[in-house]
Each structure stands twice: as C-alpha cells, then as structure tokens.
Homo-oligomer: A and B are copies of this chain.
C-alpha cells in the first residue's frame, strides 16, 4: 500500500490545529471557520484549507467545520485515537522535564518508565514513574508494550542508547541529544535539536536578503 506524501510541515500544523480545536471544544464552541482556526494558531486561512484538503473534504461552505468531528478526524490522522507508551532514557534535567511535560496524557501518551545508569537515580521515581537501570530496558519494553523511546542522554551516549532501544524492539525514537544517530530504515527517528529553534529565530532576526 502506498503512503500519501504529506509535507511534514502539514503534520506539524495538524498537531497545532488539533490542540486549538480541543481548546475550542472545551469552551463549548460547536462550529468553527478556517479563518478562526487560522487566526487562533497564526497561519493563513488558505493554509488551513490546504492542509486539511490532503485528507479529504471537511466542513460546509459558509458554515465551517464541526469542531468535534474535525478534532476526531485529525486525532485519527495523527494516530492519536489509541494510546502510546513511552520510555525515556536519561533521568537528567531534560528527561525529567520531558517526563513532567504537561499535556502528554491528554494526547494519548503515557510515560511508563525512565532509565538511567546512575545508581543514585535508579530505584527513585519521577512524577510516579519509576527510574530503572538501563539493563532492564528489554524486559520493561516487552512487559509494557512500549512504542516510543525518548533519548535524553548526553551526545556521546546517544548512539548506544538508540541501539539499546532498537535491540529491545522499539521502532520509533525521539532523539534530544545534540548529535546525529544512525538507525535502520524501518525505525522512525526524529531528532529534536534545541539549537535549530534558536537558529530559525536568528535567521528571521537577521532578515537575510540575497
């Protein structure tokens, strides 16, 4: 079966629209226009319509979108209509911040375990999530049917941790370590480099002109 080729920027925006629709739904709003979504999230109405058009026909001209229906549909597109179990490797500041990050649970993400190799951390818990020794990774991944591994260790250990995660059967990795890691093609890898975000700002600030 062939995957539809969707720009990653569209997926990112769907995720943002979805959050906005949740808030609209919580405020009791039933229908919403592409213009209102656009204004709420800071893109153009045409962009909203174009992003949604990748996935079919939504809404009624002149009436707008039903908030609950659209939200349900985007949730399904993003694969959030089921639960996802996450493990975090690295119980340092970043791993701790990630484990405490608000809003994961309501998006269907559950942090089931944190791993570290520091004996002073192993055995403790963060926000009710236990910190295990990294050697227990295969056992926990299997027991908890973990889908996603988050790498929050220093750059020098990132590849080894990725290999451990994959060896334990994980097929999706979010890497926060500021380094490139190599994984097989069948593993979904997303690198989050915190400096990149700063560099988009500095590009805009510098107002580059040819």
Contact of A1 among B8, B80, B209 (CB under 8 A): B209
Give the oligomeric copy count.
Answer: 2
Interface presence of A120 (CB below 8 A) = no
Report which residue of A3, A4, A11 has the largest number of chain B beta carbons within 10 angstroms of its beta carbon: A11
Report the separation of the CA atoms of residues A155 and B55 in the bound assembly, to the nearest whole angstrom: 31
Hey, what's the 0/1 contact readout for A167-210 against B, CB within 8 Å counting as 1? 00001101000101000000010101111111111111111111
Decide yes or no whether A58 CB sits under 8 A from chain B: no
Is residue A41 contacting chain B, with contact meaning CB distance below 8 A?
A: yes
A60 on interface, CB distance cutoff 8 Å:
no
Known: A9-B9, A79-B208. A192 touches B197 (CB 8 A): yes
Contact between A80 and B201 (Cβ–Cβ < 8 Å)? no
The answer to whether A202 and B80 touch (CB under 8 A), given A102-B178, A195-B15, is yes
Complex partner residue of A209 from B3, B193, B202, B207, CB under 8 angstroms: B3
Which A positions have Cβ atoms within 8 angstroms of B? 1-4, 6-9, 11-12, 14-16, 18-20, 40-42, 55-56, 77-80, 84, 86, 92-94, 96-98, 100-104, 107, 109, 147-148, 154-155, 171-172, 174, 178, 180, 188, 190, 192-210
Jot down 19 A-B pairs with beta carbons below 8 A, ordered by A.
A4-B208, A11-B203, A19-B193, A42-B180, A77-B203, A79-B202, A79-B208, A80-B199, A80-B202, A93-B100, A97-B97, A101-B178, A103-B195, A104-B195, A109-B195, A171-B205, A172-B201, A172-B202, A188-B204
